[in-house]
Amino acid sequence: MSKRTIRKVAVLGSGIMGSRIALHFAGIGLQVLLLDMVPQDAHQSDKKEARNKLVNDALQAAIKSNPSPVFHKDAVKKVTTGNFDDNLKDIKDCDWVIEVVVERLDIKQSLYEKVEGHRKPGTLITSNTSGIPIHLLSKGRSEDFKKHFCGTHFFNPPRYLRLLEIIPTPDTDPAVVDFLMHYGDLYLGKTTVLAKDTPAFIANRIGVYGIMAIFGLVDKLGLTIDEVDALTGPLIGRPKSATFRTADVVGIDTLVKVAQGVYQSCPQDEAREAFQIPAWLTKMVEQKWLGDKTGQGFFKKTKGGGGEKEILTLDLKTGEYGPRQKPRFASVDAAKPVDDLGQRLKMLVSGQDKAGEFLRQFHYLLFSYISHRIPEISDELYRIDDAMMAGFGWEIGAFESWDALGVEKTVAKMKEGGYSVAPWVEEMLAGGNKTFYKVESGKRLAYDVQSKGYKELPGAADFIILKNNKQVWKNASCGVYDIGDGVLGLQWNTKMNSIGGDVLSGITKGIELAEKDFRGLVIANEGANFSAGANVGMIFMFAIEQEWDELDFAIRQFQNTMMRVRYSSVPVVVAPHGLALGGACEMSLHSDKVCAAAETYTGLVELGVGLIPGGGGTKEFVLRASDEMHEDEPETITLKNRFLTIATAKVATSAHEAFDLGIYRKGLDEVVLNSSRRITEAKRSVIELHESGYVTPVQRKDIKVLGRSALGALYSGIHGMNRAAYATDHDALVARKLAYVMC
């Protein structure tokens, strides 16, 4: 296959999905052509604005949506709009055409016929359909079209949901599939999952089954909506939106459509009856209670008596809305404090109350279902887990949960309860293989049904998981691991991954070990967030109890550790993701290099709780302002910008924005689109820095501070904001202290 490069992408259809897919491609730096129909009333018009009204309105709505569909506002400039009548000819310059029009076979096929007249041979053409078999779409097209055609199913919103399902047809060139799997992972930051051309593909098939199975248990066990959502959210490693809230967000009509599609198209599915729509759900669709888009679904937002917002929950028995309830279960109270998800699941599933009964039955139904989907929807079990984690935000996959509960033990209990298990699972156990996954010499393997043995997960070398490597040191919160090629990795696991004394000792120890025997150190972790910052609760307690010496010691320890990161004799590279706030941002500021996941939310937020960033962040901002001062502009401008960033506790909502705020350094720090690759990239950076003859930086003595002249300017700005009610008296007090420190 010749080397394929993607420079320009055409997206056909500008609805909710089309416009956001277009913006995601623009967000990674590509030129995008977004096309849609000419509005009914503009066919006779020769005015471009009138003919492109549909597509332009859709794009504007997407740009304004919250959370933002792009990593940086400048990305929007890369999108050009047009319409099918005037601009379809322009796809001749595109390397990839993605169709996202209405879910009707006839409409899609007639559009493909027109596309065929304009696309240059070899151009990729893919469909984002989720409801139509992919092989039907390319019927009647040329051989070149069929060879370069397949399904690429993005999940909404494309920037935030990491799943991209790649669905080939029998005619798709395998080289095209390989290219898309690799491109989606490396450049689009996606978990790319190879799926078969079966109804709802992988994630929606399993995800919607899971929701429908829960609906069935609601009736069977007499549970309320609030009870189910309390039991099926973060407690079992699922998103906060749990079950019913997810249905409201996705749209209840969409959910029903997928369920009906599976029911009609999968007569062989052993759990087909689960996809039958319950009477109360049919009634909701008839009443147009479709969730967020119609203002009410399983939940309804109202204003209380005092004008405050209130969320009401639907009572499925009466069809009336009432105040939300906070359910309490003994088994949940016992399991909640347990941090390890596998341990927590074990405790929950063995609970002897209603919650335990529900979670047991739900997991047995789910395990039975996924076992029977191999090889129907996928030949490999890890693809099912990958799809659920990336598409539905599950913390661990379903087969992984099964491992956590013990496969053999669970299968015995399932059979006792009358739940069927696919024969291959029993074969696996009979062959002495007791788990779906295992780790061997730092590599993660998954059981392979066809060869009846274990195979290494593909691309595993690109996705380093720290805890799978040899541990060389640990304390109560941290572990230091040898991640190969002479590089160490440090990670910690605390509540919200906050940074306290243990973590600071771990960082110092990691640097010490690296200086002795290694090339350098990567600081990263695999939590939901890199870190919410220093342990502010501890600082608060010291202040309340007036333990000034303790407070002074804690802050000095933080500052000294950050300076240890800066002035180590080996490169230290930080790889943040998710939240990297306060102290975690200060750690990035002091590192030799940052390899940040694109979805990193970082900033010095301490002023929001009345504190001045004291771990070296304020000092670092002054140092950088000093380096940025130019002869030809007032010196205070640079300092003022830096002061405002801290004083207003600004947070970058992506790694790209962190460059604008001066947290990351242009030309040095880098953004990694696929979060799963950030540790590998950080390791590569450590090796590069080491190989290029790394030397310990020289301590700075030349930092220009501006004294009284700048302090006066900052004070007057603070006074103005206080007078105009943008800052409270207390905000102004803290801001003046900050100005004094910075000047």
* Closest-CA residue to 65 (of 8, 129, 15, 12): 15
Q: What is the pLDDT of residue 678?
A: 97
- The label of the residue with tokens 């500021």 reads 589
Q: In the structure, what pLDDT confidence band is assigned to residue 692 with cuts at 50, 70 and 90?
A: very high
Percent pLDDT > 70 in the chain is: 100
Whether pTM exceeds 0.85: yes
* Closest-CA residue to 345 (of 391, 395, 393): 395
Summarize pLDDT for 298-351 with one digit per residue, the tens: 999 988 777 788 999 999 999 999 999 999 999 999 999 998 999 999 999 999
The set of residues, in sequence order, having a beta carbon less than 8 Å from that of 36 and lying 6+ positions away, is 12, 13, 14, 18, 54, 55, 58, 83, 84
Interior angle at CA 616, CA 500 and CA 478, nearest 5? 25
Instruction: Give the Å distances, CA to CA, from 76 to 29, 72, 155, 413.
Output: 10, 8, 20, 54
- d(CA 226, CA 474) in angstroms, rounded, equals 41
Lowest mean pLDDT of 319-323, 469-473, 517-521, 533-537, name the range.
533-537
Strand pairing category for 163-168 and 149-154: antiparallel
Average pLDDT of the residues in 144-159: 96
Average pLDDT of the residues in 81-85: 97
Q: In the structure, what pLDDT confidence band is assigned to residue 2 with cuts at 50, 70 and 90?
A: low
Q: Give the dihedral sign, CA 308/309/314/319.
A: positive
The set of residues, in sequence order, having a beta carbon less than 8 Å from that of 500 and lying 6+ positions away, is 477, 494, 534, 535, 538
Ranges of beta strands (E only) in 204-244 are none
**Position 537 pLDDT exceeds 90:** no
- d(CA 622, CA 630) in angstroms, rounded, equals 15
Average pLDDT of the residues in 685-714: 94
H or E element, residue 522: strand 520-523
What dihedral do alpha carbons 732, 734, 735, 738 form, nearest 10°?
A: 160
Q: What is the pLDDT of residue 1?
A: 45
Q: Two tokens at 46?
A: 């020769």
The set of residues, in sequence order, having a beta carbon less than 8 Å from that of 420 and lying 6+ positions away, is 270, 368, 372, 414
- d(CA 234, CA 249) in angstroms, rounded, equals 17
Direct distance between the N- and C-terminal alpha carbons of the chain, in angstroms, rounded to an integer: 60
Summarize pLDDT for 356-385 with one digit per residue, the tens: 999 999 999 999 999 999 999 999 999 999
- The label of the residue with tokens 């801290």 reads 646
- d(CA 649, CA 536) in angstroms, rounded, equals 15
- What are residue 593's DSSP bridge partners? 573
Average pLDDT of the residues in 224-250: 96
Average pLDDT of the residues in 639-646: 94
Average pLDDT of the chain is 95
* Closest-CA residue to 214 (of 203, 224, 200): 224
**Position 637 pLDDT exceeds 90:** no
Axis crossing angle, helix 729-742 with helix 617-628, rounded to the nearest 10: 60
Strand pairing category for 593-597 and 8-12: unpaired
Residues 593/599, Cβ–Cβ less than 8 Å: no
**Position 244 pLDDT exceeds 50:** yes
Where do the H-state alpha helices sit in 65-152?
84-87, 105-118, 134-137, 143-147
The letter for the amino acid at 358 is F
- d(CA 72, CA 57) in angstroms, rounded, equals 20
Residues 692/617, Cβ–Cβ less than 8 Å: no
3-state class (DSSP) for residue 231:
helix
